[in-house]
């Protein structure tokens, strides 16, 4: 897909792009992600900003290249790096930090001149806790003992789940909860929705944080974080959350994209019907509110043609009902999710087209 006039990506100084659920699910690329990011980065820098602290930027870049993206370690910012940067401002050089998680945690600490350790015998002054499949109960016990003894506790993120090709698995938030429950303390969180990761992205590309576009699939991290900072966001419907979840939150995404093709096109406009009729239209797709929780969606026949209009329509309708306090907003959101899902299932190939990436 080529870059169109007025493309969304051209309106910003840099893109802070999430990975899990946006670019890939486990080891598989999300349809359209690779081709669209390669096109978009020709005009606007893209930094891959991930809450997943398990791997080093070198490992992440290697996976991105295996999917067909042009990526170097400098194109990746992890929450482990944000956590190490936060600790560096408060600890002495070479001070011991208990590393909980994957190699990405150790690497981030060593990169800034702190000393990652895996034992309480080193008397760590701090704990940097991230996710890894290999984290054990013994690791969580060590973290709890260190935190209870007064160590500074930094969590890379508190995502409760992590999307994989096999489905959702427990995320770092579940591991953080174990230490919280054992100690009664709260960690400093540096990943999304907190500011640390966005600061690191802005610094990496040398643009004001206000010029970032935050791209992500999670309302409670990617989009909430952008909203708190006053940064524009593009919520992508290829990961964890859908319109039913949007209806149940207070989060307001700036844009909604069915997939990353939306970065290469102008934003979809949505119009509201006049008078008392509850009627909205966007790009030939229309929605009529027929009764409590009942929405009739027409004109959405082909994913490749109508998905962007359906996404814009879903945002407008759900936010309108949510603002009114409509108790059936979640039900209406779920209908939009079902229609979008059906379009994807019926599309030829991956969401339609012979070579989506």
Give the whole-angstrom CA distance, residue 223 versus residue 73.
24
Nearest of 313, 227, 328, 221 to residue 272 by alpha carbon: 313
In the chain, the number of structural domains is 3
Domain holding 218, by residue range, is 8-76+193-258
18, 75, 217, 222: which one is catalytic? 18
Question: Residues near 341 by Cβ (< 8 Å), separated by ≥ 6?
Answer: none
How many CB atoms within 10 Å of residue 210?
Answer: 12
| Residue 182 in domain | yes
Residue 87: Cβ-neighbour burial (10 angstroms; 0-12, 13-18, 19+): buried
- Identify the H or E element spanning 280: strand 279-282
Task: Write down which residue in 258, 283, 305 finishes a domain.
Answer: 258
For residues 127 and 65, state if they share a domain.
Answer: no
Q: Are 17 and 37 in contact (CB under 8 A)?
A: yes
- Alpha-helical (H) ranges within the chain are 33-40, 57-66, 79-88, 103-111, 137-148, 172-183, 196-205, 224-229, 243-247, 303-323, 329-346
20, 106, 217, 241: which one is catalytic? 20
Give the whole-angstrom CA distance, residue 154 versus residue 287.
45
For residues 86 and 182, state if they share a domain.
Answer: yes
pLDDT values of the chain reduced to their tens digit, one per residue, 357 residues: 678 789 999 999 999 999 989 999 888 899 999 999 999 999 999 999 999 899 999 999 999 999 999 999 999 999 999 999 999 999 999 999 999 999 999 999 999 999 999 999 999 999 999 999 999 999 999 999 999 999 999 999 998 888 777 888 899 999 999 999 999 999 999 999 999 999 999 999 999 999 999 999 999 999 999 999 999 999 999 998 999 999 999 999 999 999 999 999 999 889 887 555 689 999 999 999 999 999 999 999 999 899 999 999 999 999 999 999 999 999 999 999 999 999 999 887 665 443 445
For residues 102 and 183, state if they share a domain.
Answer: yes
State if pTM tops 0.95.
Answer: no
Q: Are 112 and 83 in contact (CB under 8 A)?
A: no
How many CB atoms within 10 Å of residue 225?
Answer: 26
Could you report the per-residue pLDDT of 179-218, keeping only the tens digit for each? 999 999 999 999 999 999 999 999 999 999 999 999 999 9
- The pLDDT > 90 percentage for the chain reads 85
- Measured in degrees and rounded to the nearest 5, phi and psi for residue 32 equal 75, -15
Q: Which residues pair with 271 in a beta bridge?
A: 281
CATH code at 244? Answer: 3.40.50.1000
Active site residue 217: no
In this prediction, residue 277 carries a pLDDT of 61
Active site residue 94: no
Residue 160: Cβ-neighbour burial (10 angstroms; 0-12, 13-18, 19+): middle
Nearest of 171, 181, 179, 164 to residue 132 by alpha carbon: 171
For residues 197 and 184, state if they share a domain.
Answer: no
């Amino acid at each position: 897909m080529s870059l169109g006039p007025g493309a969304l990506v051209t309106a910003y100084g840099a893109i802070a792009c999430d990975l899990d659920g946006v670019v890939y699910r486990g080891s598989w690329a999300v349809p359209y992600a690779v081709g669209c990011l390669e096109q978009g980065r020709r005009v606007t820098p893209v930094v891959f900003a991930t809450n997943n602290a398990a791997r080093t930027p070198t490992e992440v870049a290697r996976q991105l290249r295996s999917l067909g993206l042009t990526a170097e370690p400098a194109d990746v910012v992890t929450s482990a790096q944000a956590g190490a940067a936060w600790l560096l401002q408060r600890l002495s050089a070479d001070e011991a930090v208990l590393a909980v998680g994957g190699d990405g945690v150790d690497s981030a600490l060593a990169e800034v001149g702190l000393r990652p350790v895996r034992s309480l015998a080193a008397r760590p002054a701090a704990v940097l806790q991230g996710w890894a499949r290999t984290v054990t109960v013994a690791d969580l016990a060590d973290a709890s003992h260190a935190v209870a003894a007064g160590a500074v506790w930094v969590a890379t993120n508190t995502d409760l789940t992590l999307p994989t090709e096999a489905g959702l698995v427990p995320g770092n938030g579940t591991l953080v909860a174990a230490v919280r429950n054992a100690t009664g303390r709260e960690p400093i969180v540096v990943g999304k929705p907190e500011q640390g990761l966005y600061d690191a992205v802005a610094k990496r590309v040398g643009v004001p944080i206000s010029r970032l576009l935050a791209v992500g699939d999670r309302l409670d991290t990617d989009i909430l974080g952008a909203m708190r900072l006053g940064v524009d966001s593009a919520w992508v419907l290829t990961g964890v959350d859908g319109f039913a979840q949007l209806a149940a939150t207070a989060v307001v995404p700036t844009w909604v994209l069915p997939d990353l093709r939306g970065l290469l096109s102008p934003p979809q406009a949505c119009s509201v019907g006049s008078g008392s009729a509850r009627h909205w239209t966007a790009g030939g797709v229309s929605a009529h509110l027929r009764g409590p929780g009942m929405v009739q969606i027409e004109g959405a026949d082909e994913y490749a043609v109508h998905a962007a209009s359906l996404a814009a329509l879903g945002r407008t309708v759900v936010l309108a009902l949510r603002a009114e306090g409509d108790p059936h907003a979640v039900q209406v959101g779920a209908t939009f999710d079902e229609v979008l899902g059906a379009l994807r299932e019926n599309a030829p190939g991956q969401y339609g087209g012979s070579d989506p990436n």
